[in-house]
Structure 1
Amino acid sequence: MSESDRSRERILANLRAALKRREPLGGSERAALIARTAGGNRAVQPRIDGDPVERFCERLRMVSGIVTRLDDLEQVANLVASHLDAYALPPRLVVAADERLDGIPWSNRLQVERRAAIGSDRCSVNCAFAAVAETGSVVLLSGADSPTTLNFLPEDHLVVVPESCIVPNLEDVWSRLRAQRPDRPRTVNFITGPSKTADVEFTLQEGAHGPRRIHAMVVARL
């Protein structure tokens, strides 16, 4: 038995002792737990009153996120250009190779590259898999069409959020993932507002460990 196996057995033994179990779970109890996990049964959830889209926008603004509601994808290009101008950013951005973003009519004055982000990139655009009304979080899946670097390296992270993907509660994201992505991505990122820290003298700083600004572009028809 390897050292890692011995460590695992010690951890499991400690858990059994804490649960007052001398042996592993029996067949019926084990089967019940497996069925419960596979079925996605939920615990008590907070009630979400009103429109989930409005609630998502409200919650994201509460954590210093920027939210703009749009009618369709054609309005995204102008909004991105306005964002770059507002924060004196260069007219360059990296965009996820997500086919949902293929219809954006980018302006000729913007330099757009469809690739993963690197450290020198200032602004990124990608498309959310889901968004959560309960917390104001955007949910992004890793993959060739949505590299995780787009979420964290640029100072400005702009996310297209289809209204149809906004769900009431956190648990709804996992139900959506099980239904739409049985292959399961390697990484699921829940992002709630821009990066913040108060480690240094309890002074709040934004952008210390990730984007300084997150801008959700909520699109009605996509």
Structure 2
Amino acid sequence: MSARETIMARVRAKLPKGPEGARREAVELHMAQHPRNLIPARGEGDIDHRIRVFTEMMVAVGGTVEIIDDVNEVPHHVAVYLRDGNLPAVVRRGSDPLLAKLPWHRGGTLEVTEGPAVDADRASISHAFAGVAESGTIVQISGPENPTTLNFLPEAHIVVLESAALFGSYEEAWSKLRSQMGEGNMPRTVNMISGPSRTADIEQTIVRPAHGPKNMHVIIVR
């Protein structure tokens, strides 16, 4: 037997005995019901509570958050963030409809380029699919609207999160994904991002960045 056959034989030996059809049916039923596990209470509450918890969790891991009332003010806040961070007034975005229609001229000399990120990009901006208050997490799905490279290549990652898409728990974010894409369908990747990239692999000393942006800034739009 090959190594693969040996491993699979051991797995099969540990499985409950009985008709395979019955086991498969039980698994399919379990998946169709989308059962929820224990959900932390800290993320549950009204939008003000969710924003407060999300902000606390994001800041605790080194990210930054600001809250605005008008989505059209995003370009101005992006320009200010880049200036304050001593970064060039250049940002890369995907073809996301919300970002595409923003009045980018309000960013002054801010230059906006479109497409997947490249090595030379210092900053990117993406539109979050969802946010999760319980852990201060941004949920991003891949596609031309918000290419995955925007999440990981540039030094600074700016995320626009609409308050209506800020949920208390992961389960609610997954429910939104199933509702939007249809049962059994998934994007190529789903990235759950909690703060800037960092590691403590060496002597438990935090080092930023590790495998992604050094800085992460979330703009929550009410």
Whichever residue aligns with residue 203 of structure 1, its letter is: T
Select the structure that is richer in helix: 2
TM-score by length of 2: 0.89
CA positional deviation for 1:100:
1.4
Residues 68 and 217 of structure 1 are in contact (CA less than 8 Å); yes or no, is this contact kept in structure 2? yes
- 1:155·1:212 contact (CA, 8 Å) conserved in 2? yes
Unpaired segments ≥5 residues, structure 1: none
Residue number among 25, 28, 44 corresponding to 2:22 in the alignment = 28
Q: Which secondary structure does the structure 2 equivalent of 1:94 belong to? A: strand
- Whole-angstrom distance in 2 between the partners of 1:13 and 1:142: 36
Residue identity opposite 2:201 in structure 1: D
Distance 1:12 1:81 in 2: 55
Deviation (angstroms), 1:41: 1.2
1:37 matched to which residue of 2?
Answer: 31
CA apart distance, 1:88: 0.6
Letter in 2 for 1:61: V
- Asked whether the equivalents of residues 131 and 166 of structure 2 are also in contact (C-alpha less than 8 Å), the reply is yes
The one-letter code sitting in structure 2 at the alignment partner of 1:128 is A
In 2, Cα distance between equivalents of 1:29 and 1:200:
44
Structure 2: distance between partners of 1:95 and 1:119? 14
CA deviation after TM superposition for structure 1 residue 135, in Å: 0.8
Aligned counterparts of 2:13 and 2:173: Cα–Cα separation in 1: 34
What is the aligned residue count? Answer: 214
Q: How does 1:24-173 map to 2 (within 5 A)?
A: 25-47=19-41, 48-50=43-45, 51-106=49-104, 107-173=107-173
Q: Deviations over 1:149-195 (max 9, x none)?
A: 10000010000000011111112222111110124210000000100
Distance 1:200 1:168, change over 3 A: same
Question: How far apart in 2 are the matches of 1:116 and 1:37?
Answer: 34
Preserved CA contact (<8 Å) 2:44 2:168: no
Q: Matches of 2:89 and 2:95 in 1, distance apart? A: 19
Cα RMSD of the aligned pairs, angstroms, is: 1.9
Tell me the distance in 2 between the aligned counterparts of 1:156 and 1:218.
Answer: 17
**C-alpha distance in structure 1 between counterparts of 2:202 and 2:50, whole Å:** 36
TM value normalised by structure 1: 0.89
Answer whether contact 1:16 1:22 (CA < 8 A) is retained: no
What SS is found at the alignment partner of 2:58? helix
Instruction: Kindly state the Cα deviation for residue 49 of structure 1 after the two structures are TM-superposed.
Output: 4.2
For residues 16 and 196 of structure 1, the distance between their equivalents in structure 2, rounded to whole angstroms, comes to 39
Structure 2 unaligned spans of 5+: none
Q: Which moved more, 1:206-215 or 1:104-113?
A: 104-113
User: Which one of 7, 14, 18 corresponds to residue 18 of structure 1?
Assistant: 14
Secondary structure of the residue aligned to 1:100 is helix
Distance 2:84 2:202 in 1: 29
Calculate percent identity across the aligned residue pairs.
Answer: 40
Q: Deviations over 1:71-93 (max 9, x none)?
A: 02111111111111111101111
Indicate the SS of the match to 1:196.
Answer: coil
Shift of 1:16: 3.4
Instruction: Give the deviation of 1:145 after TM superposition.
Output: 1.2
Q: CA separation in 1, counterparts of 2:141 and 2:153?
A: 16
